[in-house]
Amino acid sequence: MLFLIEIWESVRDFIATGGDVLYIVAAVLLIMWVMMIEKYWFITGVFPGIKKDIIAKWDAREDTTSWYAHKIREFWISEASEKINERMLSIKTLVAICPLVGLLGTVTGMIQVFEIMANQGTGNPRLMAEGISMATIPTMAGMVAALSGVFFSTRLEAKAKLAKEHLVDSLPHH
């Protein structure tokens, strides 16, 4: 329990030195990871069942070579691939947004530095240091968040593509 409190304390210190922009980074990171985990779970857990149903339905058909059959096959594949790719664009957007949020933190931190300079002059570097830490920490946090997203979202995309290819291969014209 004490261990958790210590972790919470250090997180609070981190946010206190980094400024409020870190909350936005944290929110973006949270949404991003919730979406990615949901997607992983869908592709590995739910999608095989859907795939099995479609294959069974296709195998049950007598006509698999007419124009109608072709169109129906395309219809099913498209439906399935839409389910796989749902929210993929949002995940990619969130990954792209992360460094931008970090940059926002940098700019607001610099505004604070210059505002302190405008009010108090350059006599006291300690006052300015607060703004500089507010400028650098969100950038770092945004970068780390984006990096964590880039790797896994790319993996996810490849996985989704592969799952769709498998489905296509499993629906032969016989």
Partner 1 sequence: MKKVFKSIALAATMTLSAGVALNANANTATLDKLLEQVKKDRISEGKINKKREQEFMAARADKQALLKKAKSELAAEQARGERLKNQFAQNEVTLAKKATELENAKGTLGEMFGVVRRAATDTMGSISGSIISAQYPGRDDLLVKLAEAKELPTTKELEELWIALQTEMTESAKVVSFDTEVVGLDGETSVQRVTRVGNFNLMNDTNYLIYNIDTKQVQPLGREADGHYLAAIENFTSSASGEMAPLFIDPSMGNLLRLNTQKATLEDRYHAGGIVGYIITGVLALGLLIALERLITLSLMGSKMRSQLKNTANPSDNNPLGRILKVYHNNKNADVENLELKLDEAILKEIPKVERGVTVIKILAAIAPLLGLLGTVVGMIETFQQITLFGTGDPRIMAGSISMALVTTAQGLIAALPLIFVHSIVAAKSKSIMHILDEQSAGIIASHAEKEQA
Q: Cα(32)–Cα(92) distance, rounded to whole angstroms?
A: 9
Among 46, 53, 99, 97, residue whose Cα is nearest residue 76: 53
Shortest separation between residue 162's beta carbon and partner 1, angstroms: 20
Query: Which CB sits closer to partner 1, 10 or 90?
Result: 90
For residue 169, state whether it binds partner 1 (rule: CB under 8 A): no
For residue 96, state whether it binds partner 1 (rule: CB under 8 A): yes
Q: Cα(46)–Cα(22) distance, rounded to whole angstroms?
A: 34
Query: Which CB sits closer to partner 1, 82 or 169?
Result: 82
What are the phi and psi torsion angles at 154 (to 5°)? -65, -45
- Residues engaged in binding partner 1 (CB under 8 A): 67-69, 71-79, 82, 86-87, 89-90, 92-94, 96-97, 100-101, 103-104, 107-108, 110-111, 114-115, 117-119, 121-122
